[in-house]
Amino acid sequence: MRYMYVIMSLWFFSGCGNDFDRTKPYIMNQKSTPLSTEKYDANRPDPHYASTIESAKIAAEKEKEIALIHKQRDIAIERLRQEASVYRSDTEKVIAFKKSETQISVAQQNFSMHKTYVFLLAAALFIGMIVLFYFLQKRRSDRLKMHEDMLHKEMYLKDRDVQEKMVARILDTLEKGVLSSEQQTKLVETLSHNTAQLPVSGRGSRASETLKPS
């Protein structure tokens, strides 16, 4: 009897050992999961695994879309950068061209102004030279005229002195009476013209009185 009791106890505990997993939640104060009576099918997909795969696919698609957006953004940024670089280059070219045109225009204006100044200076020098030449010529002409007048005056004075001396000698000769009447007549006719040009003086009056017909 005693051996029977021991055998039954072992059998009971061995049966309880097979259902330990089902009874374990009760031991841990948890609800037990009913034991599935369905057979395991290896070809049937696991819903949890499928959900994970689907989530991974969605995440990959999102990452792909995000990468595409980033790529498009980078392309757009690069295009804008290139356009900005081209616009900046064109703007710099236009500015350089305008600056060059401005410098050329300023240089032309300066050249024209300097040319005008040179022309005015040359004209002023030319006019000054003409005026100076005119005054020098006038001064030279005045000096020549003055010199000629002085020469004429000296010649006139010398000629008058010679004529006066000649008249005085002729008068002295006539007064002495050494000439014949014919010679005296010719001498009087020769000197009549010269004595008319002499100024009236002592000797001139004397010659006029002598040359009067008696």
Residue 19 DSSP one-character state = T
The token duo for 95 is 């500015």
- Residue 166 structural domain: 152-211
Cα(193)–Cα(161) distance, rounded to whole angstroms?
16
Contact 11, 4 (CB under 8 A): no
The token duo for 196 is 């008319």
Residue 160 lies in a domain: yes
Residue 158 lies in a domain: yes
Number of domains in the chain: 1
Residue 61 lies in a domain: no
Q: Enumerate residues 6+ apart whose C-beta is below 8 A from 16.
A: 23
Residue 106 lies in a domain: no
Residue 182 lies in a domain: yes
The single-letter code of the amino acid at 142 is D
Predicted confidence pLDDT, tens digits, the chain (214 residues): 554 555 565 555 555 444 444 444 444 444 444 444 444 455 555 556 667 878 888 888 889 999 999 999 999 999 999 998 899 889 999 999 999 999 999 999 999 999 999 999 999 999 999 999 999 999 999 999 999 999 989 998 988 888 888 878 877 877 777 667 777 777 777 767 655 555 444 444 444 444 444 4
